Amino acid sequence: MKNLRYTTIDGNSKGFLVILAGLGFFILLGFIAFITMEHEGHHITGMTNQVVWGMPHVFAIFLIVAASGALNVASIASAFNQQFYQPLARLSAVLALGLLAGGLAVLLLDLGRPDRLIIAITYYNFKSIFAWNIILYTGFFGVVGIYLWTMLDWQVAKFKRIAGIAAFIWRLTLTAGTGSIFGFLVARQAYDAAIMAPMFIIMSFSFGLAIYLLVLMASYNWTGRELGNAIITRLKNLLGIFIAATLFMTLIFHMQSLYATEHHGVEAFILRDGGIYTQLFWIGQIIIGSIAPLVLVYSPKFSNNRNFIALASALVIFGGMVQLYIILIAGQVFPMTLVPGYEATSTFSDGVIASYSPSQWEIMLGLGGVAISLLIVAFALKIFRLLPDSLSDQLTDPHHKD
């Protein structure tokens, strides 16, 4: 590990410029969507009075949750003093910052009045979990930024362990706060569960590591650097653990909801009677997003093939988007119980399943946020020495035999 040499990537190559152009195109699409929604109003989207958090929020929350998980590799290296992960820590921190920036950009541009953010950051209602999240999100940039500084500057390297532990605690708090947004919402039967906080933490481990694996493999493949099997195998096995843990937490969440009579209606809607939402849950989240990646990660037939490892990571990302879509959208389209224990009816869609179909503008805005995240990482790779020249097994695996 001591012989590793960190360098920047070639930012003048044709391939790098093509990547920048592609990301710039999606950012432009996101900007067009923002301007259009700002000018025309949110009536051009699929959002309504019943569904106020749409597809942009799915993208934004996924990126925010994944940001915390992407930092997990650096946390293992510093907070838990695992030397094997030290060469991977710099990219982990930068990816975390990039993902959070992209997610917050989507949230900000979907507000309708982005200038109202000034009020959110100057006046705090500490009874609101949203106010706490403003502090957690902005603090994440500061804490992780300092942590990255200790990794890049040898003069402050002695503080790296302390900064790493601080970043580890902060990111767990941030993800718990994001999950608590839903866990504390008693008005929606699909939420109102304290288990949301730890479930979001486990989800972040899975989503963030899947993105990290893809970025790591792409970075080394496209720059012609050697990436040994020891690194890939360790990260792949860790991803499998996180996938299984996310699946287990999902099972516990639905079991505790089925135990409570008040949640029987929404559970029947999601698990059996919800049409597209039921199909997304069983096919998209459970089969494609959980079981299939587990098979690819642990099956001897696929687990040693990097293409299948990349596919497993992509399926985890897809399943994560589906899972958040179900949490956000299905949780909103199911009608609220206005007066528990009584039946309340009116002419304003009470007791009716709301409809929602994401518009092109919402998807464009979300993809723009993803592109912003990746563009930040790409520029960071060009400017800072984040990647070792080689992560071959000879350098990283103490048990390697020539």
Closest by CA position to 281, among listed 251, 240, 308: 251
C-beta separation of 77 from 160 below 8 A: no
pLDDT at 288 over 70: yes
Of the pLDDT bands very low, low, confident and very high (cuts 50, 70, 90), residue 193 is confident
SS3 call for 124: coil
For the chain, give the mean pLDDT. 89
pLDDT at 116: 72
pLDDT tens column, 165-182: 999 999 999 999 888 888
Domain locations in the chain as residue ranges = 6-388
C-beta separation of 67 from 97 below 8 A: yes
pLDDT at 398 over 70: no
Mean pLDDT of 289-300: 95
CATH code for residues 6-388? 1.20.1630.10
Mean pLDDT of 361-375: 96
Query: For residue 227, what are the β-bridge partners?
Result: 391
Q: Alpha carbon 53 to chain centroid distance?
A: 17
pLDDT tens column, 317-350: 999 999 999 999 998 998 877 666 666 666 666 6
C-beta separation of 20 from 380 below 8 A: no
Of the pLDDT bands very low, low, confident and very high (cuts 50, 70, 90), residue 353 is confident
pLDDT tens column, 202-220: 999 999 999 999 999 999 9
pLDDT tens column, 1-50: 557 888 888 877 888 999 999 999 999 999 999 999 988 888 899 898 88
* Lowest-confidence segment of 198-202, 278-282, 344-348 by average pLDDT: 344-348
pLDDT at 339: 65
* Lowest-confidence segment of 11-20, 59-68, 234-243, 288-297 by average pLDDT: 11-20
pLDDT at 70: 95
User: Distance between CA 305 and CA 311 in Å, rounded?
Assistant: 10
Q: Alpha carbon 21 to chain centroid distance?
A: 24
Lookup: tokens for 335: 């009608």
Where is mean pLDDT largest: 81-85, 220-224, 352-356, 360-364? 360-364
Of the pLDDT bands very low, low, confident and very high (cuts 50, 70, 90), residue 262 is confident
pLDDT at 400: 59
Mean pLDDT of 219-224: 91
pLDDT at 88: 93
DSSP 329: I
SS3 call for 388: strand
Lookup: tokens for 66: 């994944």
Ramachandran angles phi, psi of 51, nearest 5° = -115, 95
pLDDT at 166: 95
pLDDT at 363 over 60: yes
pLDDT at 188 over 70: yes
